[in-house]
Amino acid sequence: MTDTFEAKGKRKILVAELRQKGINDEEVLRAIDTVPRHLFMDAAFFSHAYVDKAFPITSGQTISQPYTVAVQSSLLKVKKRDKILEIGTGSGYQAAILAEMGAKVYTIERFRDLFIKAQRTLNSLGYSVDFFYGDGYEGKAQYGPFDGIIITAAAPEIPMTLIRQLKTGGRLVVPVGNSGSQVMTVVERTGEESFINSEHGNFIFVPMLKGIVNNN
């Protein structure tokens, strides 16, 4: 499958909708306008690809809602060539948005089938992202420290191992809470042992779970 005029048109409408919902980071909006979200979903679900909703992918997981992707990407304050670690590759859509914004992206997924599929999707679109099959709770210290870490699954609490992998001035963006609802939280590392937290509204994600699943 390739990009189409119809899909491009639908993305323009989606971007206008996200603007109306308060997204104003132009680089984030440009990335959403550019990345063909329908190619991260089964072709049969084209009609759902540019609706502002989360959608099921395989292994009981979801591709995040475009608004949620836009909020998390804005909160990361990505600059070109920033090193960003993503926990929860899923479909790979969020990773593609960050790569489109010029970040150097490292992404970890605990389901082997999703890890393989997302790699294929991003390679076919020409994005160069580093994929890892593993437990994101451990992070990727050997590639850090990172300018930003984004967790796209609900963490019961702020994962301490991960904030240790941030640069000073770096930011962790994570939905914190239990299954019902989570608070989008930014933890900024301001010094070796100092962190500032801020909260940015309620969201619903699939849970961040420990361990890996070898299903492929």
Residue 4's alpha-carbon distances to 14, 37, 46, 47, in angstroms, are: 15, 12, 11, 13
Closest to ligand SAH by CB, 109 or 147: 109
Length of the chain: 216
Selected binder of ligand SAH within 88, 139, 144, 148 (CB under 6 A): 88
Q: Which residues face 146 on adjacent strands?
A: 166
The verdict on 98 binding ligand SAH (CB under 6 A) reads no
The piece of 5-13, 82-90, 179-187, 191-199 that touches ligand SAH (CB under 6 A) is 82-90
Question: Least Å distance between CB 123 and ligand SAH?
Answer: 16
Cα separation of 193 and 164, whole Å? 9
In the complex, the smallest distance separating the C-beta of residue 186 from ligand SAH, rounded to whole angstroms, is 17
Specify whether 124 is catalytic: no
Q: How does DSSP classify residue 133? A: E
Per-residue buried b or exposed e for 61-75, using 16+ beta carbons within 10 Å of the residue's own CB = bbbbbbbbbbbbbbb
Choose the catalytic residue: 59, 64, 73, 179.
64
Residues that bind ligand SAH (CB under 6 A): 61-64, 87-88, 90-91, 93-94, 108-111, 114, 135-137, 152-153, 206, 208-209
Q: Catalytic site residues?
A: 64
